[in-house]
Amino acid sequence: MNYSLSKRKMTLGPAKGEFRFVASPVYQKQRISFDQLCERMAEDSTVGEADIAAVFYKFRKVLNKLCSQGYIVDCGPLGTFRPSFASKAVEKEEDFKPSENIFKTQIRFTPTADFRQLKNVEFFRVDPQKKEKKTKPSGGGEQHLP
């Protein structure tokens, strides 16, 4: 994994107010698309890309339904998914209306400690990347990723 060093003023701890060099990951410019993920998962497998994609879509549908019913879903070596929402405060209990006072419903993912940890990582220092203006991608052909 590539990283770059940048000089930053510390805001916490014993070095507060002092400048230190801090490493940051340098991300690949291109994302792995859903199709590319399915293609990689199908490599060296008897399961095809379409079957893998179908499992992801079904997983999303089932997970949403279970979390909408208040379940915490254990996904084994990946971690757990649980429902969450924010609520506005009201002065009186009888003033509470779920449709008006509950918002930002979402699913929270907590990875297992083992899944959270990247394995067998080698680090390579690179120059910091310049921030580019976001532009619409041109209609080029497919690129092969490692």
- List, for residues 33-62, the tens digit of each pLDDT value: 999 999 999 999 999 999 999 999 999 999
Task: Answer for the pair 36, 145: CB distance below 8 angstroms, yes or no.
Answer: yes
Task: Answer for the pair 70, 83: CB distance below 8 angstroms, yes or no.
Answer: yes
Mean pLDDT value across residues 62-87: 95
3-class secondary structure, 134: coil
pLDDT at 144 over 90: no
**Which residue from 55, 56, 71 is spatially nearest to 108, judged by alpha carbons?**
71
Give strand pairing partners of 110. Answer: 80
% residues pLDDT > 70 (the chain)? 90
CB contact burial 77-116 (16+ within 10 A = b; e otherwise): eebebbbeeeeeeeeeeeeeeeeeeeeeeeeeeeeeeeee
**What pLDDT shows up at residue 58?**
97
How far, in Å, CA of 26 to CA of 127, rounded? 9
Tell me 91's DSSP state.
S
pLDDT at 1 over 60: yes
**What pLDDT shows up at residue 23?**
87
pTM for the predicted model, two decimal places: 0.69
Confidence of residue 76 (pLDDT cuts 50, 70, 90): very high
